[in-house]
Each structure stands twice: as C-alpha cells, then as structure tokens.
A and B are shown apart, each in its own frame.
Chain A
C-alpha cells in the first residue's frame, strides 16, 4: 500500500484503540483515587513504611512527601550505579562514573529518562531492574498523584487537606501501572520483544547485546518515561520488532495521558470539562503530526536514522507521540530529521508537554495553562477570573505563572551558557544551525522531562552532565511544588456560584482560548532561539 494509506491506516487503528479504552480506563482511574478500600498489598506497604493511609495531608506535607520520596530515589539510584561492580548480572561493565551516575539518577527519578550512557556498555541487568524499572513505575505514579491532588483542589471547598501522597502513589502503581504493564509485557514478548538474562546473543557470528527488555519496555512507554533498555531505544528490533509492536508502544505512550482527561471530567463532576481539554490536545497533536510526517516525507535523506519496517509514517507517528507526551523514547533518530520535522518535535516539547503530556504531568500542566488562559480572558473583560467554581486571585495566578515559567527559565539559561562555552563545539555531531538545534533540543528535552535527544551531541562532559541534571531537577520539581501550592490555595476557597457572567469552560470559545494560550506562550518565549536553529535550517 502507498505510504499515505499506510500512515492513515495506522493512525486510524491507533485512534480507534484509544477511543475504545478512553471511558473504561478514565472512569477506572477516577475510582482508584476516590475508593475508600485499601488492597491487602497496599496495607502491608503502609504498615512497613509506618504511614497512616487514612490521614489526609496539607499541601505542604504532600509536597514534602513528593520531594522526600524523590530525594531518596535519587540517592538510591546513584549509589547502586556507583557500586554496580558488586551487583550480579553486571557483565564486568564496572561502576558508573560520578557525573553519569548523578545525571542518570536525576533523569529517571524526574521521569525524564535522558540517557547520557550507552546501556549495552554501561549498565547491567540488576541496575536496570532494581533501579531504573522501579523509577519507571514510581516517577509516573508521582505525576499521577500530583495531578489528582490538583484536581482535588478544584473539587474540595474550605479545607486544607489534599489527600495522602503515599496512598495516591501506591494506588497509582498497583492499581493502574502494574496490571497494565504485566499484561503488556507478555503481549510484547508474544509479538517478539526479548526478555533475557543473558548479556547477548550470537547472530551469524557476531554478538548483539540482549537484556530483560519486555518488562522495562512496557513501563517505559506506559509511564511516559522513555529510557531505552538498549541504546537504539524503540528503534532496536529487540525492543520494537515489527509494525504491530510499534503501534502497541505508541498506544501505551498515549493511553494514560489521554484517558486522564476523562478521569478529570469524572472527578469534577462534569465530563465536558474533560472533553474540552482532550479536544485541545487532539487539535495540536494532529497538526504537529501532519507537519512532522509531511516534512519527513519530503526530506533529502528521509531514511537516514529510520527503520525500514516502520517507514516514514510509522516513524512520524512515534516521534509525535513521544514528544507530545513527556516520553522521549524514539523509534527513529530525531537528529537526522529535516529542519522542519525535527523542529516540530522540539516545538512539541516547548509547548510544555501537554498535548497530551506525560502521565499526570500532562493533565496538571494543561490545567495550569487553563488558569493562565482564564486569567488572560479576565484581563480582557475586566473581571476576576474563575475556573471550575474557584476564583483565580493573586496567589493562584502567581503559582500558575511560576509553574509555567520554570521550564523556559532553566532551558534558556542552560542552552545559552552551553552555546557560548568553547568546549561545546567539540561535543556537536553536526555543524552550523543544526549544531545549535542539538544544544536547544538537549536543554528542551531535559527541562521538559522528555528525554529524547538529537542524539549526536556528546553529553558526557561534566558541564553537560551537571547542567542537564539540574535542568531536569528544576524542570520537574519547581512546577510540582507550585502546582501543589496552587491546589492548596484552591481547596481552601469557597465554591463560587455560576452566574450569567461566568465564562463557560466547556465550549469552543474556551478551547480556542486555551489552544491560543499554549501556542502563544511557547511562541513568545522561544521564537528567537528557534529562529537561529530549526527555522534557519528549514529555510536553507
């Protein structure tokens, strides 16, 4: 069949599959976070951790929970990498160096999964399993928890309690991520993904590295993590062997962020509030897919860095899904994309990862942007803005602004310094405008917790390891604290009754306003930088 038909067919199958699970999964997730009952395994964990699952927390305690849990996660990951030679299944790959271990520890805890290392050469199976796989689950569950806490801020009135972080974390893990991952892993193996404790396999006289791929592959996509078990990530035939696994993996990337809009509608008691967010995500996602696909179909070397079994449509679909969420897995090398195609993948991240965004992070990011949009609308008509029955005063808008501005701040500072450092020239894989795009892409990926790369850039110097590590850290946790503060201040308010003057937030007017805000904020912040990199390249 022609590439056009093949691409439309694959997109059609994907959208149909998402539509089928949208309601059941969205409703199920809403029940998970409102149910009274604890599972037996959950009770055992709470007992072991000595936390009271029925005690609700203030926003600050909830935030300390997120920060404390992430802090010990980073320390644990750092230590096991540094001591890898003591662990089994290490295959003499040795201890990981301090810069790389620092970067990787933050990367996986911050749900970024940026990889400065070549897995086949650096990490053994034990660190991948007890370190990286665990963070693939829990960093996604942290995103879910923060999103749910923000939604509770809208739903609840005159309270200082936002729920219990440990309960939200454990439930997201055991009731949502783990069951889907377990079934998904077995499905992937049935379709050809590998799951081996050996270090490699002989292929016609040469050794190709192998690993316990399937168990980590599935949660890599499902938790919008993106860190490849093997260097080529989802382009590696052991991670993504055929056209069907490709579609399954794209589905896994999108399924939770998309269904969360339904969960949101359920929790706020008005499903249309969720549909309108989904429509905004879908419009931007579709437009970006069209751009990437068309740009790649018309490239000079369209097959460079792409796998033949996926072709251009299967690669464009994956690239758009992975950068529109905060996943960062790749099935083709974005560095070899055209100026326009690679620039669109970059722009997807610069929108702030909300089309549809990562697990939980997508929902809370678009809700923050909705607050900004309502604030702008309020300025235009001279009225105190409201959203979902809550007034958006100085505290709420400040928290939203801090959350939105954290990413561009660390991104532009980091990329700006990197661009003028003399040592950077040697780290680049491509000259000219594309070299600048490599730098911009790296900092955009880190600051947005995406993790994909223009992979030619060498990021193993101390400067890149530490600056990108800090971008991931601030890009993740500044917005989280701001969002939880916002949730606390919303929950403390009374509910404002709907009047004739209230701008309805379920119609096309609001959808347009929100879409415009997403595009404008990104454009105003990043056009100068983009003009020197991808835009210049696309025009050359």
Chain B
C-alpha cells in the first residue's frame, strides 16, 4: 500500500498550547479521507502544515512519497488545495480567476474539463467572482482545483455555508472526481452524513490527537450504545475495555462502548440489570458520543480488532 500522505509525529505548539500532538496521519493512495474533529481540534492547523503554510514545531510530512521540505515543483503541481471559505479574488471574473490559477499548474491544466464543469453549473466566464452565490463560488473553486487533474486534493471544510442543494451538487462533483482511479482526497467537514457518503476512511482529531483512524463503516459498526435497566438507582459502572462514556438516566445506565463483545457483555451481566440492549449508532451520534467523552481515557481506534480479520480485508479491497 502506498501512501499519498504520511506524517511522522507532526506537532504544533502555539505558545504554551499544543494544538496538534504527535500526529501520525497515513492516507493511502486512492483513498477519500474524511478528516473530522470539533472546532479547535487542530484540523485546519494540520491541513496547513500538510501544505507547508504553517511550520511544524516538530515532525515531518511526506506527500506523494516526497518530503514536504524538498518537494520538487513537478510533484507540487500534482497537488491541489481548496482553502476554507474558498477564497478567490472578488474583483476578478471567473475567466480571469482561471487564468490566474492556471499559472500554478502550467503543465497539467485541462481547460476543456474546466469549461465543462463551469458549463454544467451554468457559470459564465465573464461573471464577477464577488457576484457569485456561495454555492457557485464553491463550485468555481472546486473546478479550479480539479482543472490540473491533481493526484492529491486537499479540501478544508469545502461545504461550509452551502445550502442542501449546493452541497449535494458539490458532493456529486467530488464523486465524479473520485471515479478516476488512484486519486487521493482528504477533506475536513462537520457534516457527518456527507462524510459517510463519500469517505472511505475517517480520522477523528480530539484535542490535537488522532483518536480514530479507520474505514468509515468500521467506526459506525464498532461504536455501540448499551442501555441497562434497573429496578432502582443503577449501580456505578465498574468500567470495561473500550468504554467511551457511562452515565445514569433515572433507572437506566447508558454506555457508549467501542467493540462491544464477550468481555463487555460479562461486565454488563455481572451488574444483574432487569434487561439490557446493545445497538449500533448513526455516524453522527457515534461521533458526538466519541468526541464528547472524557478526553484522557478515550480508546484509540484503528483498523479493527484482531479477531475480525475478514472485515479488515474486505474494507482494504473496497478502498483499493
């Protein structure tokens, strides 16, 4: 498996505050990677370090197999970036913005494809950028990012501020883009339903630490909510492997657990509840439970439990 993005103990301090802490991010070539975390978790800082716009306090970045510090122009050309808020110069026309962007990718610019996309969204080249709607501007920015046919595309919260229809169109363009084999996309987002639709893998940053790094389906299938009913006040939960959260609601004890299995079942049954039930959660609920839990004890989450190699291999095949 080759990696499009590999970081080694990537760390950033702002003064005394560590915003990114020892990040070992590994994004396989051809993967669509959803990069998640709450506001202030360190996503944008990480993305800026990936692109060399913020200097790490410690650690290294490799993009497309090359050290970021010595990235040859021929490799840099194969990487495209869409910044948060899709900044474009408002005084330019769409055609001028295209000429401007082309200068950064002289050898790889596909003007015909760009025109096709702009045409599809019915955006005329003579339109002033500042007169475009948010959705149109996002699509122009994406079209400009795609025009050099990048092998690696990094998007910082690309659907922020778009309405449902504009987001749908944007994701559709992204899907079209994925359908060229071997292209890698990393995007950050807060809209979990979007992430689930397009991402093969997700990474979740919690306070600058990568707590989750696994196939999207695996995260959804592995986090479960367990509800125990008692005749009176529930006993204190003694804890178990993979516990994210435990709290009392009246006569119920509710748990969020990663990889609920026989060991956890034994702990639950040892409390002799009247009844209990374990169920999986939607990606959004799983994400909320996971990122709201007590930070220090969060179970770190990767490709899967060793006893389930078959799911890991099918997921690998799916991502290939």
A and B associate in one complex: no
